[in-house]
């Protein structure tokens, strides 16, 4: 992680230079994204002709699903470019996993998913190319997370997810995102390209509808601008009933994931709530988990959950969690079967 306030942290810089907001007049208002005072610093690359600059991480990323967030800005009438590369340790070739090109913009955040599985470690490169004279590129506030970009507990908003009508609601120790509307569908779409390959995608949801109407829940992946159905379930959802879905998704490069709730006529009393979205390399059989009727929290805090039923894909009941649970307590698992 680096905000470039004091130094360049663990990033090796070539072509970029650190500047402060005190220099913004000479750059046409090209100041730090926080717009607080004159002490903030960021990186800038300006050139008299079309040329390159780069950042290279001096620390390596270990195996697993990782997430890189970086703020960037372009200035100038011609298009400039930014690319993110990864290179396996001991391997000569590097591959571009994200890129964008445009002319003058405000500050924007890039969310880049990195799946470190073909090598135990990788080095990250951020390369910029200006469009020519009077074109500039700014970089700021790099954050590297040891988790998937899709993971979200909504404590910091919608994370990398996008959707109209979804509002984050925070309780004492956890948060959810909530949708209430009479429209025919509510959709939450990942705002970045999902890691390619076979992954396990899971989320928890609750539908409150006093009319107990049927609502179709779908998970879809977008490969090459064509949405394909990955999982769907249609049932009558009782008031306050929490459900968890875990499904294996095999996605291609440059894909998005959408969680979609469909209904012919949402009532004014219908609320849809999402919590604890996760993506992992673990392969699982498709499962639906009944989490009971109480409020839930993330696994990082103590919580009380009523009796929970775990269902396999073929409908066989494979376990139930008895009594109130806390993350500090052991879980009593009783294997049972459907009558």
Q: What is the DSSP string of 24-57?
A: GGGGTS---TT---TT-EEEEEEESSS-EEEEEE
Percentage above 70 pLDDT, the chain: 59
> Token pair 């909530």 is at which residue?
178
* pLDDT digits 0-9 by tens, 83-139: 888 776 655 667 777 888 888 777 888 888 887 765 556 677 788 888 777 788 888
At 63-77, the pLDDT tens digits run 778 888 888 888 887
Examine the domain organization and report whether 224 and 139 are in the same domain: no
Contact 242, 293 (CB under 8 A): yes
Q: Which residue has the higher pLDDT, 58 or 163?
A: 163
1 assigned to some structural domain:
no
Burial 97-119 (b: 16+ CB within 10 A, else e): bbeeeeeeeebeebbbbbbbeeb
Position 309 pLDDT exceeds 50 = no
C-alpha span between 167 and 181 (Å, rounded): 12
Assess if residue 153 is contained within a domain: no
Same domain, 191 and 89: no
Pick from 116, 145, 174: which residue ends a domain? 145
Query: Residue 324, SS3?
Result: coil
- The per-residue pLDDT for 242 is 79
Q: Check which CATH number belongs to the domain holding 230 and give it.
A: 2.60.120.260
Residue 4 lies in a domain: no
Asked whether residue 19 falls in the same domain as residue 94, the answer is yes
CA pair distance 287, 297, nearest whole angstrom:
20
| Token pair for 72 | 């960037």
Out of 56-60, 93-97, 296-300, 314-318, least confident range: 314-318
Number of independent structural domains in the chain: 2
Q: Can you give the residue range of the structural domain that contains 232?
A: 161-334
More confident residue, 186 or 152: 152
- In the structure, what pLDDT confidence band is assigned to residue 322 with cuts at 50, 70 and 90? very low
- pLDDT, residue 247, reads 83
Q: Does the pLDDT at position 3 exceed 80?
A: yes
Mark whether 136 and 190 lie in a shared domain: no
Spatial neighbors of 273 by CB under 8 A, at least 6 apart, are 169, 176, 177, 178, 179, 205, 206, 207, 208
Q: Could you tell me if residue 2 is inside a domain?
A: no
Q: Is the pLDDT of residue 190 over 60?
A: yes
Instruction: Work out the number of other CB atoms within 10 angstroms of the CB of residue 279.
Output: 25
For residue 244, give the nearest of 213, 196, 200, 195 by alpha carbon. 200
pLDDT of residue 324: 26
Check residue 56 and give its pLDDT.
85
Question: Is 300 among the domain residues?
Answer: yes
pLDDT of 14 higher than 80: yes
> Is the same domain home to 224 and 283?
yes
Better-scored residue on pLDDT, 195 or 212: 195
pLDDT at 331: 21
Q: Are 285 and 200 in contact (CB under 8 A)?
A: no
Structure token digits, residue 6: 């004091």
In whole angstroms, give the CA distance from residue 277 to residue 162: 13
Please indicate, yes or no, whether residues 194 and 319 belong to a single structural domain of this protein: yes
Structure tokens given for 264: 């012919």
Q: How far apart are CA 307 and CA 316, in angstroms?
A: 17
Is the pLDDT score of 246 beyond 60?
yes
Same domain, 122 and 44: yes
Instruction: List, as own/partner pairs, every contact residues 317-320 make where C-beta atoms lie below 8 angstroms and the sequence separation is at least 24, other chains included.
Output: none
Q: Measuring CA to CA, which residue among 13, 74, 12 is closest to residue 46?
A: 74
Instruction: Give the Å distances, CA to CA, from 290 to 188, 264, 309.
Output: 22, 25, 5
Do residue 267 and residue 321 come from a single domain?
Answer: yes
User: 195 in a domain, yes or no?
Assistant: yes
Quick one: how many helices (H) and strands (E) in the chain?
Answer: 0, 23
CATH number of the domain where residue 91 is located: 2.60.120.200
Residue 154 forms part of a structural domain: no
Query: In this structure, are 193 and 299 located in the same domain?
Result: yes
In a domain, 258, yes or no: yes
Looking at per-residue confidence, does 192 or 186 come out higher? 186
**Mean pLDDT, residues 282-296:** 54
d(CA 23, CA 20): 6
Dihedral angle computed from the Cα positions of residues 226, 229, 235 and 236, in that order, rounded to the nearest 10 degrees: -30
Quote the pTM value. 0.66
308 shares a domain with 176:
yes
Closest-CA residue to 116 (of 52, 46, 66): 66
Least confident of 199-213, 229-243, 318-332: 318-332
């Amino acid at each position: 992680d680096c905000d470039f306030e004091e130094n360049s942290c663990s990033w090796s810089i070539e072509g970029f230079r650190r500047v402060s907001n005190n220099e913004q007049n000479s750059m046409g208002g090209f100041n730090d994204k926080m717009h607080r005072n004159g002490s903030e610093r960021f990186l800038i690359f300006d050139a008299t002709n079309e040329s390159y600059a780069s950042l290279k991480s001096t620390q390596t990323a270990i195996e697993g699903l990782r997430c890189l967030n970086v703020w960037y800005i372009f200035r100038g009438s011609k298009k400039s470019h930014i690319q993110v590369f990864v290179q396996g340790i001991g391997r000569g070739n590097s591959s571009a996993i994200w890129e964008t090109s445009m002319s003058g913009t405000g500050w924007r955040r890039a969310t880049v998913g990195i799946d470190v599985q073909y090598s135990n470690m990788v080095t990250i490169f951020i390369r910029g190319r200006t469009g020519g004279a009077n074109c500039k590129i700014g970089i700021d506030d790099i954050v590297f997370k040891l988790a998937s970009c899709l993971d979200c507990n909504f404590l910091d908003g919608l994370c990398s997810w996008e959707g109209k009508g979804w509002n984050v609601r925070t309780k004492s120790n956890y948060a959810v995102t909530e949708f209430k509307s009479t429209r025919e569908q509510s959709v939450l779409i990942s705002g970045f390209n999902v890691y390619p390959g076979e992954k396990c995608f899971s989320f928890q949801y609750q539908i409150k509808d006093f009319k107990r109407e049927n609502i179709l829940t779908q998970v879809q992946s977008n490969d090459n601008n064509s949405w394909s159905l990955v999982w769907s379930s249609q049932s009558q959802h009782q008031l306050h009933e929490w459900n968890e879905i875990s499904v294996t998704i095999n996605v291609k490069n440059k894909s998005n994931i959408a969680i979609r709730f469909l209904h012919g006529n949402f009532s004014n009393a219908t609320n849809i709530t999402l919590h604890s979205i996760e993506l992992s390399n673990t392969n699982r059989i498709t499962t639906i988990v009944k989490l009971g009727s109480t409020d839930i929290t993330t696994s990082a805090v103590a919580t009380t959950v009523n009796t929970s039923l775990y269902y396999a894909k073929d409908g066989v009941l494979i376990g139930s969690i008895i009594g109130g649970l806390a993350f500090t307590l052991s879980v009593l698992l009783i294997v049972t079967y459907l009558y």
